[in-house]
Amino acid sequence: MKRFYHRAIKDILENRFLTAVTVITIALSIMIAAAFALFFINAGDILNLWQKGIRMMVYLKPGTSEAGRLDTKYKLQNISSVQAARFISSQEAMEKLKGQMAHHAALLDNLNENPLPDAFELSLQPSAQKSAELSFLAERIAALGTVAEVEYGQQWINRFTGIINLFRLAGYGIGALFFMATVFIVANTIRLVLYSRRDEIEIMRLVGATDRFIRIPFYLQGMIQGGAGTLIGLVVLFGGYFSLTSQFDQGLSGDFISLRFFTPLASAGIVAGGTCVGWLGSWVSLKQFMKT
């Protein structure tokens, strides 16, 4: 095996320019594809974070009696997705609103009657915090006779989830394109090397070299190019991530949103994936070439 590595490294050094172009192109491809993946991971984290903080507001119809309110509370608490139901009277809601409006609270003093309804604030079980579950739960609660309206920021979450999904789809498409491009680039590099060395390969065959003996150094070459390109791409991406998070931490959002990079295991997996793509490129090239 050592001599195969030796031959692969020698080939790489003899074709420095070609190898450099290939490695840089792979690095760029991986960088773009990995940047998309990183975006999904962090956007997903943010979405999860927001969803975990979701409170569902259940507004009661005007004139709901004390008995109706108690009955509604009982029914809400019996729903398995509901962790707790806290009653917020219209007076309490008004006090809270005044507190939030601070300097403009005087505007509310001129109201003849309190326009805010009585409500229940529901905190939910983690299993119910997915968008589809929320929608189902809201419909179920809205069907109760005393309930006027249910609010939980549905439209906003749906829109955000929609955007994430759109990006995810685009990411899959881009990932597939870059995968094919990387295989194509490695295949062509190896093909050029093969053509430049076809006399040598022919001589090797004449002296009794097996196809395996001829192929292995080229497989190694493809794998080295794929692995090195991926590693460089990830390192550059990490540099970009590091500089972005340094600025982010100084900003307002630092306390709420914590961006993260790929774990060491995931990074190793990506490099291994790039190495496999390099091998695949070599395999494609050799499959065609060795038939001749």
Give the binding site for another protein (CB under 8 A): 3, 14, 199-200, 203-211, 213
Minimal distance in Å, beta carbon 20 to another protein? Answer: 20
Minimal distance in Å, beta carbon 233 to another protein? Answer: 31
- Planar angle of CA 38, 273, 266, nearest 5 degrees: 45
Please say which residue, 132 or 206, places its beta carbon nearer to another protein.
Answer: 206
Please say which residue, 27 or 190, places its beta carbon nearer to another protein.
Answer: 190
Nearest partner of 129 among 191, 56, 28, judged by Cα: 56
Q: If phi over 0 gives left and psi between -120 and 50 gives alpha, with beta otherwise, what is residue 102?
A: left
Nearest partner of 223 among 177, 170, 280, judged by Cα: 280
Please say which residue, 67 or 207, places its beta carbon nearer to another protein.
Answer: 207
Nearest partner of 236 among 198, 267, 275, judged by Cα: 267
Tokens at 271, concatenated: 């490099």
Minimal distance in Å, beta carbon 292 to another protein? Answer: 13
CB atoms within 10 A of CB 119: 22
Q: What is the DSSP letter of 150?
A: E
Minimal distance in Å, beta carbon 221 to another protein? Answer: 15
Please say which residue, 243 or 288, places its beta carbon nearer to another protein.
Answer: 288
Provide the greatest CA pair distance for the chain.
104
Minimal distance in Å, beta carbon 43 to another protein? Answer: 52
Please say which residue, 3 or 159, places its beta carbon nearer to another protein.
Answer: 3
Q: Return phi, psi of residue 116, to 5°.
A: -80, 140
Q: If phi over 0 gives left and psi between -120 and 50 gives alpha, with beta otherwise, what is residue 208?
A: left
Minimal distance in Å, beta carbon 223 to another protein? Answer: 21
CB of 138 closer than 8 Å to CB of 60: no
Please say which residue, 10 or 96, places its beta carbon nearer to another protein.
Answer: 10
Minimal distance in Å, beta carbon 246 to another protein? Answer: 49
Q: What's the number of CA atoms in the CB half-sphere (13 Å) around residue 80? A: 3
CA–CA gap between residue 228 and residue 238 (Å, rounded): 15
Helix (H, G, I), strand (E, B) or coil at 283: helix
Minimal distance in Å, beta carbon 17 to another protein? Answer: 17
Q: Which residue has the tokens 């989830």?
A: 161
Tokens at 233, concatenated: 């791409």
Please say which residue, 2 or 104, places its beta carbon nearer to another protein.
Answer: 2
Please say which residue, 14 or 249, places its beta carbon nearer to another protein.
Answer: 14
